[in-house]
Amino acid sequence: MIRKNLFAFSEKVEQQQNTKDTRLIPMLMAFIETQIQIQKIELKEQLLLLLTKAFLWFLIVCVALIGFFMAAIGLAFALNKLLDSDFLGFLIISVIFLLATAVIIQQKHIIFEKILRQAESELISQENENNSQEEESEKTTS
């Protein structure tokens, strides 16, 4: 009788383990799917933030360029008046712009590297900030 009870008990334990195992796999799959969805949402948020920043910088650069060109045209008119010429002021300003363009073209690799390093450091600092926020939220939930 003890053997029968022990055998019945071991069968119940096996059945419970089997049902736990069969419930564990769907729960694990649901967890993985949830994590994938969370990663997708976070990626979309980061992409939206990046696009927003890019648009904002584009807008700032456009307004600054318009202001810069208006100032250059005003300076050209002032030089024309100062030199008593109809075109010499525009010629001087054009030469200055061409020289600036030549310097930028010559230094484009250095400029590119500086911009790339700046973007990388900003990205790393943003990741560190996100990680610290996640750690703080995990501490508060614990």
Residue 66: per-residue pLDDT: 96
Its pTM surpasses 0.75: no
Q: What is the pLDDT of residue 132?
A: 76
Q: What is the mean pLDDT of the chain?
A: 83
Q: How many CB atoms lie within 10 A of CB 76?
A: 19
Where is average pLDDT lowest: 14-28, 73-87, 106-120? Answer: 14-28
Interval 85-114 mean pLDDT? 92
Spans of all domains in the chain: 2-106
- Does position 142 have pLDDT exceeding 70, yes or no? no
| pLDDT tens digits, one per residue of 64-73 | 999 999 999 9
Residues 37-54 pLDDT 10s: 999 998 998 889 889 988
In this prediction, residues 101-105 reach a mean pLDDT of 92
Q: What is the C-alpha separation between 85 and 69, in angstroms, rounded?
A: 20
The whole-number pLDDT of residue 10 equals 61
To the nearest 10 degrees (0 to 180), the angle between helices 2-83 and 88-106 is 150
pLDDT at 20: 56
Q: At residue 5, what is the residue type?
A: N
pLDDT of residue 122: 81
Question: What pLDDT shows up at residue 7?
Answer: 57
The answer on pLDDT for 3 being more than 60 is: no
Span 107-125, average pLDDT? 85
CA quadruple 100, 87, 73, 112: dihedral, nearest 10: -10
